[in-house]
Structure 1
Amino acid sequence: MQAWTVAKLYAQPEITAIPCPEPGRGEVLLRVAAAGLNFADLLMLQGRYQTRPAPPFVPGLELAGTVMRVGPETMAPPAGTRVAAYAGLGAFAEYAVVPVDRLLPLPAAMPFSIAAGFQIAYGTSHLGLTHLARLQANETLFVTGAAGGVGLTAVEIGRLLGARVIASVRGPEKAEIARKAGAETVIDSEAHPGGEGLKDALRALGGLDVTYDTVGGPGFDAALRATRPGGRMLAIGFAGGEVPQVPLNQLLVRNVTIAGLWWGAYADFAPVVMTDSLAQLIRWWEDGRLAPHVSHILPFDRLPEGLALLRDRAATGKIVLRVDHQQE
């Protein structure tokens, strides 16, 4: 089969021919139709992600496709079943082996191009905002990187939960996308280089109850200082490249809670929480309450272009790699 493989860290993936994997006990073989790209893929190529596979490996965290073959002594959906899966590794290939408990059966109407990038982005935002931050109706939610794959879903879900959403983006095009997703107020991050003036701007808007931060850097500190007593902050990622240093005295005197969220880890330590969250998201999609935004659907041989879009923060919403044009 054809797969994108990483021969060494910091090297670009290359298309190679490798043997098709065989499913073991508790696993299924999937024919991949599409795979979602995530910022975490870039980190994994550099050995900077939470999981660090040794080269050579096939990257790609999430995918959608059809069940081809079931491993021995395994109860699983029959061959031909349409599913999405959080693979954790191996999604950028024509076939992938995935643990059966990570399969998400898809509604008949959900296209693979939507399903491939659905789980991580929506799952992270829903689990973070409901399970960790306990976001309530009429609270104020601040989302950084709000036009990106994960940030945009936080805007959408925050609005769906009845919150007032303030979004931070870069440039007018991304501002319009954030407004369309449900942001009441949009702040252009280019107007606050290094976070300058951001704290005052957020305080002028009434302060924050919940912050959903995908960028890190000085913007996190500005949001912390604009958070009301009893507020909650979620550290989702550090796309800006700088990990914030949190002054604990600020948390103590203002009763602020900060929580970190790595969505993929829930598959191991709290799988029921993840499963229930995804089930709710699928119901919302079926009811027409979610509108996934995919800015780029790229053919299989253009993965490097997709990674470059992520690296340059040039895409909005999700980027999806089309693996098998015969499926949909």
Structure 2
Amino acid sequence: MKAIVLDAFVTDLSSLTATEAPLPKPWQPADVLIRITHASITHVDVLYARGLHQNNRRHTKPPFTLGLEFSGIVAQSPAFSAYRPGDRVFGSALGAYAEYIAVPEKLLRRVPRGYGLREACALGASGCVAVASLMGERGARLRRGESVLVLGAAGGLGVIACQVAKAAGARVIGVVGSKEKERVVRGLGVEVVRYDSPGWEGKVRALTRDGEDEEGGVDVVYDPVGNVESSLRCIKYGGRVLVIGYAGRHGVMEQIPANKILLKSAKVIGYRWGEHGRRFPQEAEKVWDKVMEMAEIGEVKPVVYDKEYKGLESVPRAMHDVEANKAWGRAIITIANEGEVLEEMSKSKL
């Protein structure tokens, strides 16, 4: 099969190439083999390729196959599996930039009704991150009627967080940096503030000012960008800042004066979905159930970047677009056509 395998971290994303690799073998008896049709490009993938992610110091070291989120069709499964060959699934696991991936059954979900494989890939685990961090007991515990500011609102995590917060009954304000991204976020029914406008944090406070609170500020900031200092300027006294990631920092971590947390009596909450799932698998299953319910009834809908990327050879170009913040929603690579895969599977056995 073809796959993008890293034998060493790269400095130039253009050097990433698809090469021949062995077909993945199930590591556990319950593993399911998936023929990948689509894979998404995330900022984590960019950091992984460059060796700038914290996981690169531990379990994500070369050699490894790049890519974290995928959708596709079950090619092989154990006799006792809930999935059968031909089932349409999506999931998150290292090794998505390849034609095949073998993953534990527990990491897979069926494609929701009304979704194509491309849309399911765009949903990925983003809904879980938003639901667990915004609504969960270990997160912000968002309440109906509160206000939420979403940084990077047009990004893959941001567009889903906006929808989850709205579904929870919150007032949502999204922060974006271009007219095109403003259009995307307003299309979700969300108020918008442009961070390329001087003094944008003051505009957030002005939007949320009322008779009882002349200072203004939101109750919760959802920050997948890595801008905690601005987040603290935007919350009201006693507000909560959710630190989700550092997509805007290119691997360089922000340094925050601790007195700014004290002055706002703020709660700064770090949230890692992957670690949450490893430590609290039963909680993670409930989160997944909630996300799938929201997807089925249309409370959350994936947003797919409208630029087309075909084949594994387009991964470097897509990664450049994501790194340069050109993309909105999820940039999706089409690795294989669903119809062709099903026809291929009907004619041969792996």
What is the TM-score of this pair, normalised by structure 2? 0.85
The answer to whether structure 1 residue 49 and structure 2 residue 61 are counterparts is: no
Deviation at 1:253, TM superposition (A): 4.7
Which residue among 32, 40, 45 is the counterpart of 1:28?
Answer: 32
Distance 1:250 1:178 in 2: 29
Task: Name the structure 1 match of 2:346.
Answer: none
The answer to whether structure 1 residue 299 and structure 2 residue 310 are counterparts is: yes
Which residue among 159, 166, 178 is the counterpart of 2:166?
Answer: 159
Change (3 A) 1:226 1:311: closer
Distance 2:189 2:235 in 1: 21
Which residue among 16, 19, 28 is the counterpart of 2:19?
Answer: 16
Change (3 A) 1:57 1:74: farther
Aligned length: 319
Task: Name the structure 1 match of 2:134.
Answer: 129
Greater displacement, 40-49 / 73-82? 73-82
Task: Name the structure 2 match of 1:324.
Answer: 336
Q: Percent identity?
A: 31
Unaligned runs of 5+ in 2: 209-216, 343-350
Aligned pairs (5 A) from 1:97-246: 97-131=102-136, 132-184=139-191, 186-192=192-198, 197-206=199-208, 207-217=217-227, 220-241=228-249, 242-246=252-256
Distance 2:254 2:49 in 1: 23
CA distances 1:281-324 after superposition (whole Å, capped 9, x unpaired) = 22222212222110134211311111011110001101111111
The answer to whether structure 1 residue 4 and structure 2 residue 4 are counterparts is: yes
Unaligned runs of 5+ in 1: none
Distance 2:239 2:119 in 1: 33
Distance 1:7 1:48 in 2: 15
CA distances 1:175-218 after superposition (whole Å, capped 9, x unpaired) = 1111111212x1111113xxxx233222222211000112224x
The answer to whether structure 1 residue 254 and structure 2 residue 261 are counterparts is: no
Contact 2:36-2:96 at 8 Å conserved across structures: yes
Distance 2:123 2:55 in 1: 21
What is the TM-score of this pair, normalised by structure 1? 0.91
Deviation at 1:50, TM superposition (A): 3.0
Distance 2:196 2:113 in 1: 42
Distance 1:117 1:32 in 2: 14
Distance 2:279 2:243 in 1: 19
Aligned pairs (5 A) from 1:270-309: 270-295=280-305, 296-300=307-311, 301-309=313-321
Distance 2:231 2:74 in 1: 45
Deviation at 1:107, TM superposition (A): 3.0
Task: State the superposition RMSD in angstroms.
Answer: 1.9
Distance 2:296 2:18 in 1: 36
